[in-house]
Each structure stands twice: as C-alpha cells, then as structure tokens.
Amino acid sequence: MVSDTSVTLGGIRLKNPVIPASGTFGFGFEMAACYDLNRLGAIALKGTTLEPRFGNPTPRIAECTGGLLNAVGLQNPGIDALVSDIAPKVRALCDTPLIANISGFAVDEYGICCEKADACAEIDIIEVNISCPNVHQGGMTFGTDPAAAAAVTRRARKATSKPLFIKLTPNVSDIVPIAKACEDEGADGLTLINTLPGMRIDIRRRKPVLANRTGGFSGPALFPIAVRFVNQAATACRIPIIGCGGVSTAEEVIEMMMAGATAVQVGSANLRDPLACPTIIDALPAVMKQLNIDKLEDIIGII
C-alpha cells in the first residue's frame, strides 16, 4: 500500500506536510536551482512588512550549541514588491501553495498588508507573524497579550477571505489564552512556535556577538519546547496548527503531528542543509511504514 502523506490545511490540499519556514528559505525562487519546488507541501515566503526594510546591522547570525541565533530584523523589499513581482516569480516556477508571512508594527499595518496579499492571486494562505523578537517595536509585543493578539487577528480577518494563520511566540507563561483569542477572532489556524530570545558574548572582544545584542534562538534544542506548545494549543483549540521549531527529520515531523500539528515547518535545518526539506519528504514513507501509518492525517493529535 502506498503511504498517503497528504494533508489539508485551511481547505487547501498539500501533497505532504513539509513547509520551509519563513525566513529560512528566502522567497523560494532562490532554491529552485537545488530541487523542484513542487516537491514541497507549501512554501512560507520570507517575512514581509508594509515598507521595505534593511533590517538590523551586522553581524546578524551567531552559532551556538544546539542551534543558532539570528537578528536579521525583517529585511525585506516590502509588500508591494512581494505581490507585484516576487509571488508571481515563484508561481511561475511551481504550483506549490504559497504562504505570505506578514509582519507589522501597528494593527493597521497588518491589515493593509493582508489586504494587498488577499488581492494577490498567487498567494494561497496568509500567515500573520505576531512573534518576531528581533525588532524594537511591534512584532512579539502583539503576541504576548491576548487582547493585542485578538486585535491583530480581527483586523487581518476583515482584510482577507484567504486562510489566515497567526504565528505565535513561545515567550509567554501560557499560550492557551492567546491561541484561543486568535481562534475567537476568526483565525483559520495557528503557527507555533517562533524563536526564543538569546544572547552570545565574544569573551575576547568583551562584546555581544550580535550587533543587535540579542537574537532569536532556533534549532534542534528548540524542538521539545515546540512540541509542548503545539500540544497545548491543539488541545485547547479546534483550528489546525502548523508546528515549527527545531524540526530536522521525518521522525520529528511525525512526532509534531502526533502532538497536534496538521503541517510542519522546517526552519534552521534549511540553513545547515539546503536539501533538508526534500530529504525529510523522501524519508516520510519509510518511517510511516515502520510505524504502521497508512495516512498521515490519521495521526494528527492522537496523543
């Protein structure tokens, strides 16, 4: 029997649950020379804001045990470039569903960006990021308070009829009130988690390694934390979840789905190995066979 790796996310059928996470895969077309983008379940495009951003000063990346720190600071060409040029460019290369990742510094900015993404035929799903720890205003601020998260979700919901996912931060004592606030305001799904804030110091120079001082910690060490958050949100909410955080193997995709995720984003593993996603996808059927899983959808939230 052929293993069925397909899943349905926001009413859209994906051939498999593996999605490169926003910020670790460029806008997608950069990777087209490495492999066929149609192999992916979907593509989460690089985070986009209303206006173009240069991002934080360099250095922006620091390696550390179990992962890495990044403080890129949402460098991007702006939403107008995404919808007029970049998304059509990616669509010309593949039929894979495209997820626009939207960030903002005010509620109305989120709304305007969502309206522009909604009007873009090439974008299939909108992922609103209220969890970025690497900017000095906005970002994670909206994701740590249920009322603020609800306000962003409400504005984004009015701006789009496309499937709307809200990306949440782990930097809270309890994810459930925030997840439920987003669900109550009409979110079609959630993405969790984003990075945890961290810091490295160059002991020879006696200075922080990152110009921004702190950055978002991602990588394998984050995986158990992500599984916990996914399971908590999946238990409390009825909407689908995209699990994200430290995933680097087919076994971890399955573990994340057992915790409650419908699809899984692969993040920093792409930076270490550009072929991480197709490698995981190719390994899924054999791992499913070992675990007597015929359909991946059957294991979503089984624990």
Residue from 113, 132, 237, 277 carrying the catalytic annotation = 132
First CA to last CA distance, the chain: 25
Question: What is the SS3 assignment for 67-121?
Answer: EEEECCCCCECCHHHHHHHHHHHHHCCCCCCEEEEECCCCHHHHHHHHHHHHCCC
d(CA 149, CA 168): 9
d(CA 123, CA 176): 29
Question: DSSP code of 162?
Answer: S
Mark whether 277 is an active-site residue. Answer: no
Furthest-apart CA pair in the chain: how many Å?
60
CA distances from 146 to 168, 209, 215 (A): 11, 33, 24
Question: What DSSP letter does each residue of 28-56 carry, written as one string?
Answer: SGGGTTTS-GGGSS-EEPPPB-SS-B--S
- 3-state DSSP assignment of residue 19: strand
Give the catalytic positions in this structure.
Answer: 132
